[in-house]
A and B are shown apart, each in its own frame.
Chain A
C-alpha cells in the first residue's frame, strides 16, 4: 500500500514537471512543483530521486534543479524548437523531434551541423519532417547511453 501511494505521488510529480515544461518551456523550481500538487519540497525531492532511477529526470549537482526531463532541457543548448509561440531547449538532436512528438504540435527545429556549423532550420509537421538530406549521428552505443547521459 505504501509503495502504491509512492507510485501515485511520483506520477503527480512527473506530470507536474512535464506539464510545466510544456506550458512554459522552462524547468520548474522544486517549490513550484510542490505548490502545483499541494505537497512539500522534501516529498517532491524524494520523488525526484525515484524518477531519476526511471530515467525520467536528470538533476543538477545540487540535487534539486532539473537539468533534463527528456526530451526537455532545463538549460539552454544548441538544439531548440519553436512551437506554439514558445522556444524550447532540447537535450540533443533526437530530443528536438522528441519535444514536438511530446507536445503533438507542429514546429521548427533549430540546430546546426556539428562539423560545418551550417545552421539547420527544419519545419516539422504533425507527421514529422519533410524530405531532407540532413542526418543524425550518435557516437555512443545504445547500451551505454545512460552511463553518461549528458555526454550522450
Chain B
C-alpha cells in the first residue's frame, strides 16, 4: 500500500515491476478509509471492520468492483 505522485508514476511502477495496475484511490477517499478503520482504535470497543462493514465502507467511498470485495476474508 503505497503513495505515488500521479497516475503516470503508478503506471510506470507497474510496468517496470510487472505488476497489475489496480484501482487508484484519491487522498480524500484514503482519509475516509483511515477514519472508518482507525477512528475508534484507541477506544475500548475498537475492532477491525468485518467483511460486511468493509463492503459498506468501500461502497460509501465509491470504491466498487471485485478488487474491493473482501469475499470470505473472515477472522476472529
A contacts, CB < 8 Å to B: 11, 14-15, 18-19, 22, 53-56, 70-71, 92-95, 97-104, 111-116, 118, 120, 122, 124, 128-129, 132-139, 141-146, 152
Residues 16-51 of B at the A interface (beta carbon under 8 Å): 16, 19-22, 24-31, 33-35, 37-39, 41-42, 44, 46-48
Q: Contact string, B8-20, partner A, CB cutoff 8 A, digits 1/0?
A: 0110110010011
Residues of chain B within 8 A (CB-CB) of A18 are 41-42, 46
Docked complex Cα distance between A143 and B26 (Å): 21
Q: Find out whether the CB atom of A134 lies under 8 angstroms from the CB atom of B4.
A: yes
Residues of chain B within 8 A (CB-CB) of A22 are 42
Q: Find out whether the CB atom of A138 lies under 8 angstroms from the CB atom of B3.
A: no
For the residues of B in contact with A, the DSSP-based class is mixed
Give A45 Cβ to nearest chain B Cβ, in Å.
Answer: 18
Q: Find out whether the CB atom of A137 lies under 8 angstroms from the CB atom of B28.
A: no
Give A44 Cβ to nearest chain B Cβ, in Å.
Answer: 17
Q: List 5 A-B contacts (CB under 8 A).
A: A14-B46, A18-B41, A98-B37, A113-B9, A137-B4
Q: Find out whether the CB atom of A133 lies under 8 angstroms from the CB atom of B73.
A: no
Q: Find out whether the CB atom of B4 lies under 8 angstroms from the CB atom of A113.
A: yes
Q: Find out whether the CB atom of B9 lies under 8 angstroms from the CB atom of A116.
A: yes
Q: Find out whether the CB atom of A118 lies under 8 angstroms from the CB atom of B19.
A: no
Q: Find out whether the CB atom of A143 lies under 8 angstroms from the CB atom of B73.
A: yes
Residues of chain A within 8 A (CB-CB) of B47 are 54, 56
Docked complex Cα distance between A139 and B18 (Å): 11
